[in-house]
A and B are shown apart, each in its own frame.
Chain A
Amino acid sequence: MLDIRPILSTLHRHKVTAVLLVLEIALTCAIVCNAVFLVRQRLDWMHISSGVDEANVVDVRPVNIGDTPDMHGRINGTLAALRTIPGVDQVTLANQIPLGKESWNSGIKLDPNVVAPVMNVTNYYGENLLPTLGAEMLEGRNFRSDEYAWLDDITGGSKDVIIPHVAIVTKFVADRLFEGHALGKTIYYDDIPLQIIGVTQDIARPNVNDRATTYGSIFLPVRMTEGLGATYVFHTKPGQADSVIKAAVAKLREMDPNRVILSKRHYSDVRDTFFASDRAMTRLLVGVCIALLIVTALGIVGLASFWVSQRRRQIGVRRALGATRGDVLRYFQTENFLLATMGIVLGMLLAYGINIVLMVRYELPRLPVTYLPLGAVVLWLLGQAAVYAPAQRASRVPPVEATRGN
């Protein structure tokens, strides 16, 4: 502690270099704090739950060439055949899957007379889709088989088709629209009233473009037809995912050679694809942080070495006057500690400045205060580690150096 005054007066004579070092530490501190914060944000996002029993869900998406007659019978037949595959728990034809690429969306209303929808949701179709995804019902019941209607019958406007008037919503929708008491309430979808008969755990929507409504999903008792992105979704027995995929592809091809398999994948692949660019960005941010810390450390080593070589005579004098090697070592370490502290203080201010810009431009939350002490510790340690070798060299300067000319 006694060294602080002489250190400060020495630094005063090397103002420019000292200022540069402080600046470098400050910039590094500011960038690293924000980058780590961004990484944290991405990691949180990448770990959100899809609501799917991820280990045991697979999907195979076929596409037909040309028109297919008797669509309903054909799909029922296909589903029956797929159900016989060993390892298959449940199978259905769905219009989309959570965190997938294509999505079916619509606006729902609470009052048919109000023009603007109250929420934009995604619509899941597919008989028995909820148990197939492995989703849990929190309240109410699943659809009865007599409540289902075929999608093409509904859009085709057949007169003898009863258009469904029931829906299941996620907990997120129930909480947002009905403060948790959604059962029995009515929502309007394209002016069609739908009574909520069940509330399921949160299930993510595909193609999320507004993270605030990630779980804005509703399920309708609609049997999906092939085409338009429809995909066969399977819930498999544990560990049988691979064999189910293989058998399902073979079965689909065998039933109709005109079917082209567009994709076949584990649910984990869907998830990986969905977060792929976030993962890449995370890696990049981590890479930049490491590179920054290395560059800063090398800068400290370089400047400290320069100072040591410049002050050999001064060190020699101190040694001759009775300073121990430890005293000299401590001198340089304290000096670095002081510079790092100045850098850290400046860096924290800068970090908040950058964070404010990010908040405005990228709608990021505020940098948590806990990042500051962590950043400080990291930079202090980095500085101490970087200065150690030059300081060691300084401490080995013999007292006799005092008598040399330079």
Chain B
Amino acid sequence: MFGYYLELALRSLKRSKALTALMVLAVAMGIGACMTTLTVLHVVSGDPIPEKSHALFTPQLEPRDKDNGFYSRGEPPEQVSWQDGMALLKAHRADRQVLMTGGMAPVQPANPSQDPFFVHARYTTAEFFAMFDVPLKYGHTWSATEDERRERIAVISSDLNEKLFHGEDSTGRTVRFNGADLRVIGVIEPWRPHPHFYDLNAGNYAESEDVYMPLGTARDIRGPRAGSRDCWGVGANVEETTLETSNCTWLQLWVEIDDPAHVAAYKAFLVHYSEDQRAAGRFLMPVNVRLRNVVEWLDFQKVVPSDVHLQVWLALGFFVVCLVNTVGLMLAKFMRRSAEVGVRRALGASRGAVFAQLVTEAGIVGVAGGVGGLLLALCGLWMVRQQPDQYASLAHLDMDMLVATFAVAIGATVVAGLLPAWRACQITPALQLKSQ
């Protein structure tokens, strides 16, 4: 039966080409706009590390000596100081813990004819790679021992490996970073979590770093920091080289707690630590700790740009207009065929059969609109990628969105066709036959 409806539908669509084209165009434009913006939303609001996001937490403490409510609004700082970071790192109270900061410096290629170029770096303690599931291509990463010894070693990205060593296994070779020689001990596979959740100072959708080295090593070679630092007390009089002993927060601390039952215990530990620091006179403010997991953290930091939400609403509005338009046109088209429906009804077709046939017709418009919408969405995403925003380069249609495009296109058009089809099958056969 469906085959027959399909044939009837195709025939009818061919009969009024202009009207059909208008409907398909409207659906395609609406779908194209919606899918473009929804894909962007999907990309920017995704979970950067789905297998582990519930187990990774960033502890926040209140170490400041006075409340300048101006910046904090009751929230502890987003980063930690060297003293607190080191103390929490060495306490080993979570399954894994990592203390780090971002950096940026020139790399000088061995070949002197090649100009130095800038790379982003991560100065981090050893468990970074295990904690964030960073895939390794060659060599190995380092351990707490190398952190302790502040060894001149680095793990580099495959991009940098390509640029400096033509993609070969470069372990044992040397990278000249900010004038210091670092021995390459590992190369990682391409890896780019987005959002760049572990350090949003780099930019919410920043690319991942090209050079990773032990935090202590970076301090020894005076690796230039890239990120924010917030100081209190006599904050302006702090030099970059004395950050370890100053009242500044400038490091990111992340911990992994695999067993959800241990989260409360870790939070209690943070409270306990803060109380100890208050007792010692280091912390002067009331104890104020936070332990947010990845998703809560991204939410708290309002990572998804508000323009993206606005665009989605705009596109949905546009889609609704397109659908209303399609309903109107479809109604016009179906009503025009009153006579045909009358004849079919008179010849014994049930209301259900007529209804099914007309809805099939709507579905075909939906499929055609979906194809058109897909093309427009690809076009739209290409335009998004030309935009300057950091997240723009991520805007690609994935399989989920592809399936969603067709599902939405067909679903919406069928829904749009329900009212016209229902109206059309209310036609009394006798009346139509008479007027013939």
Beta-carbon contact of B324 and A20 below 8 Å: yes
Is A298 engaged at the interface, CB distance under 8 Å to the other chain? yes
In the complex, what residues of A have CB within 8 A of residue B306's CB? 362
Beta-carbon contact of A115 and B68 below 8 Å: yes
B30 nearest in chain A by CB position: A295
Closest CB of chain B to A114's CB: distance in Å? 10
Is A81 engaged at the interface, CB distance under 8 Å to the other chain? no
In the complex, what residues of B have CB within 8 A of residue A405's CB? 435
Query: What sequence of 0s and 1s flags, for each residue 329-371 of chain B, a beta carbon within 8 Å of any chain A beta carbon?
Result: 1011101100000000000000000000000000000000000
CA of A277 to CA of B205 in the docked complex: distance in angstroms?
A: 14
In the complex, what residues of A have CB within 8 A of residue B307's CB? 277, 281
CA of A309 to CA of B335 in the docked complex: distance in angstroms?
A: 11
**A65-B179, A106-B235, A299-B325 given as contacts; is B387 within 8 A of A280 (CB)?**
yes
**A31-B317, A284-B311, A306-B332 given as contacts; is B106 within 8 A of A260 (CB)?**
yes
Closest CB of chain A to B325's CB: distance in Å? 4
CA of A303 to CA of B315 in the docked complex: distance in angstroms?
A: 24
Beta-carbon contact of A288 and B33 below 8 Å: yes
**A65-B106, A298-B22, A302-B329 given as contacts; is B389 within 8 A of A280 (CB)?**
yes
CA of A305 to CA of B238 in the docked complex: distance in angstroms?
A: 76
Is B400 engaged at the interface, CB distance under 8 Å to the other chain? no
Closest CB of chain A to B270's CB: distance in Å? 25
Closest CB of chain A to B21's CB: distance in Å? 10
A406 nearest in chain B by CB position: B435
- The interface centre, meaning the residue of A35, A107, A277, A301 with most chain B CB atoms within 10 A of its CB, is A277
CA of A62 to CA of B19 in the docked complex: distance in angstroms?
A: 62
In the complex, what residues of B have CB within 8 A of residue A284's CB? 311, 314
Beta-carbon contact of A20 and B321 below 8 Å: no
Beta-carbon contact of B236 and A291 below 8 Å: no
CA of A30 to CA of B22 in the docked complex: distance in angstroms?
A: 23
Is A262 engaged at the interface, CB distance under 8 Å to the other chain? yes
Is B71 engaged at the interface, CB distance under 8 Å to the other chain? yes
**A31-B314, A31-B321 given as contacts; is B235 within 8 A of A21 (CB)?**
no
A21 nearest in chain B by CB position: B328
In the complex, what residues of B have CB within 8 A of residue A260's CB? 106, 115-118
**A27-B321, A31-B318, A280-B389 given as contacts; is B336 within 8 A of A310 (CB)?**
yes
In the complex, what residues of B have CB within 8 A of residue A227's CB? 224
Query: What sequence of 0s and 1s flags, for each residue 142-182 of chain A, a beta carbon within 8 Å of any chain B beta carbon?
Result: 00000000001011110000000000000000000000000
Query: What sequence of 0s and 1s flags, for each residue 259-300 of chain A, a beta carbon within 8 Å of any chain B beta carbon?
Result: 010100000000001001100110011001001100110110
Beta-carbon contact of B235 and A302 below 8 Å: no
CA of A38 to CA of B311 in the docked complex: distance in angstroms?
A: 12
Beta-carbon contact of B118 and A262 below 8 Å: yes
In the complex, what residues of A have CB within 8 A of residue B324's CB? 20, 23-24, 27, 299
Beta-carbon contact of B314 and A35 below 8 Å: yes
Query: What sequence of 0s and 1s flags, for each residue 95-123 of chain A, a beta carbon within 8 Å of any chain B beta carbon?
Result: 00000000000110000000111001000
Beta-carbon contact of A155 and B237 below 8 Å: yes
Chain A: interface residue total (CB-CB under 8 A): 60
In the complex, what residues of A have CB within 8 A of residue B423's CB? 16
Is A320 engaged at the interface, CB distance under 8 Å to the other chain? no
Query: What sequence of 0s and 1s flags, for each residue 1-45 of chain B, a beta carbon within 8 Å of any chain A beta carbon?
Result: 000000000000000001100100110011001000000000000
In the complex, what residues of A have CB within 8 A of residue B238's CB? 155
Count A-B contacts at CB 8 Å. Answer: 156
In the complex, what residues of B have CB within 8 A of residue A333's CB? none
In the complex, what residues of A have CB within 8 A of residue B29's CB? 291, 295
In the complex, what residues of B have CB within 8 A of residue A157's CB? 237
In the complex, what residues of A have CB within 8 A of residue B66's CB? 115
Is B222 engaged at the interface, CB distance under 8 Å to the other chain? yes
Is B258 engaged at the interface, CB distance under 8 Å to the other chain? no
Beta-carbon contact of A189 and B236 below 8 Å: yes
**A277-B389, A298-B22, A306-B336 given as contacts; is B331 within 8 A of A16 (CB)?**
yes
Beta-carbon contact of B68 and A116 below 8 Å: yes
Beta-carbon contact of A302 and B19 below 8 Å: yes
CA of A236 to CA of B335 in the docked complex: distance in angstroms?
A: 72
CA of A83 to CA of B310 in the docked complex: distance in angstroms?
A: 48
Beta-carbon contact of B222 and A303 below 8 Å: no
Closest CB of chain B to A301's CB: distance in Å? 8
Beta-carbon contact of A303 and B332 below 8 Å: yes
Closest CB of chain A to B73's CB: distance in Å? 11
Is B51 engaged at the interface, CB distance under 8 Å to the other chain? no
In the complex, what residues of B have CB within 8 A of residue A106's CB? 235-236
Is B70 engaged at the interface, CB distance under 8 Å to the other chain? yes
Closest CB of chain A to B300's CB: distance in Å? 16
CA of A292 to CA of B240 in the docked complex: distance in angstroms?
A: 54
Closest CB of chain B to A119's CB: distance in Å? 9
Is A360 engaged at the interface, CB distance under 8 Å to the other chain? no
Query: What sequence of 0s and 1s flags, for each residue 149-173 of chain B, a beta carbon within 8 Å of any chain A beta carbon?
Result: 0000000000000000000000000
Is A228 engaged at the interface, CB distance under 8 Å to the other chain? yes
CA of A206 to CA of B410 in the docked complex: distance in angstroms?
A: 48
Beta-carbon contact of A273 and B317 below 8 Å: no
Is A191 engaged at the interface, CB distance under 8 Å to the other chain? yes
- The interface centre, meaning the residue of B22, B237, B321, B329 with most chain A CB atoms within 10 A of its CB, is B321
Q: What are 23 sample pairs from A and B whose C-beta atoms fall under 8 A apart?
A: A16-B423, A20-B327, A21-B328, A24-B324, A31-B314, A31-B318, A63-B224, A65-B106, A66-B180, A116-B68, A156-B239, A190-B234, A190-B237, A228-B224, A276-B388, A277-B389, A281-B307, A299-B328, A299-B329, A301-B22, A302-B332, A306-B19, A307-B332
> Which residues on A are within 8 Å of B, measured CB to CB?
16-17, 20-21, 23-24, 27-28, 30-31, 35, 38, 63, 65-67, 106-107, 115-117, 120, 152, 154-157, 189-192, 227-228, 260, 262, 273, 276-277, 280-281, 284-285, 288, 291-292, 295-296, 298-299, 301-303, 305-307, 309-310, 362, 405-406
Taking A27-B320, A291-B318 as known contacts, 12 extra A-B pairs with beta carbons closer than 8 A to each other, sorted by chain A number, are: A20-B331, A27-B317, A63-B224, A190-B237, A228-B224, A273-B388, A277-B387, A281-B307, A281-B310, A292-B318, A295-B318, A362-B310
| A-B pairs, 10 with minimum CB distance | A66-B179, A306-B332, A276-B388, A299-B325, A20-B328, A280-B387, A24-B324, A31-B317, A155-B239, A302-B329
